[in-house]
Amino acid sequence: MPFECGVFQIDLDFISHMLNISTSTGEKRSFGLGTGSVAVFYSSLMDSIASVNAGVEIYAVPNEVEPAIPFAENHTPCKYDASIMHDYWQALVRIHNVFTEFRAGFQGKNSPVHFFWGGFDLAVTRFSGRPAPKHQGSVPNMPAIVMQEAYSQEVSSCGFWPGSDAFPHPVFYAYCYPTPENFAKQQVSPPEAFYSGEMGEFLLTYEVVSRSADPERTLLQFLQSTYDAAAKTGNWDKDLQCDLSALKNA
C-alpha cells in the first residue's frame, strides 16, 4: 500500500500467529495474534501503523455483519484458536492454488483470487464484458451504491465460504449476475453439487471435495461446470474461454 515515504504491507502469519508490518524504508513492527477484543486488536494495529509513519484513515465500522459495532467500541471478549486458524489458512492456500489454475483459463477480465473479510470467503470472478442491470439486492451494513458498483457488470463468480451459525457447513459456491432463467436447471459436476434456491447459487460441500480421490480435480470440475452453466444460459462469448490442456505436463 502506498504512503508518503514509499509503500508498506501488512501480513498475517498463521504459522507463528503474528501480525507483521513492513515498509520500503526498512521499518518493521509485529504483535501477536491471540485472545482479546476487537477494540484491543484495532488499537494495536493502528498504533503500529502510526509508529512507522504510515498513518491511514479507514472507515472503522465493519461491513456485511450484524450488528456493526465500531471497531474501537467492540470490547466483547473473542477467543483466538491458533490451531483452527492454521487449519483454515492451510485450506485457503490449497483452494487458492486451484482457483488460480481455474482463473488462468479465461481470456476476458478476471478478478484476482481475493478474500472478503465481511463474508470471510475466498473468491474469484469472471466478467463477460457486458454491463448488467442495476443491482437491487442488499447486504447488511453495506451501502447500496457499493453493491450496485460491484455488480455493474455481468459476472460469473465462485468461491469458498466457511459457513455461519445459520448454515454451519463449509461450502464451495458459484453464482452469476444477472441470473438467467434456466441457470438453476443446468447439470453441473460433480453429482453431489446442487442448486440452492434459498441462496441463489450452486453449492458443493467442502466435505465432498476433501474426501474425493482427487480433491483438486473435483473442485475444478465444479468451477468449470458452473461457469459453463452461466456462459451457456447467459450467452457469453465462447472465445473468452481458452484451452490450456497443451500446457499440462504429460
Q: What is the DSSP string of 12-66?
A: EETTTTEEEEEETTS-EEEEE--SEEHHHHHHHHHHHHHHTT-------S-SSSS
- What are the boundaries of each domain within the chain? 2-78, 82-245
**Degrees to nearest 5, angle at CA 103 with 198 and 184:** 25
pTM value?
0.93
Residue 165 binned pLDDT confidence (cut-offs 50, 70, 90) = confident
237-246 confidence digits (pLDDT tens): 999 998 877 7
**Residue range 198-220: average pLDDT?**
97
Q: What is the pLDDT of residue 237?
A: 96
Using the predicted structure, report yes or no on whether residue 250 has a pLDDT greater than 60. no
249 pLDDT band, cuts 50/70/90, is: low
pLDDT at 181 > cutoff 90: yes
Which H or E run contains 77?
A: strand 77-78
Kind and range of the H or E element at 218?
helix 215-234
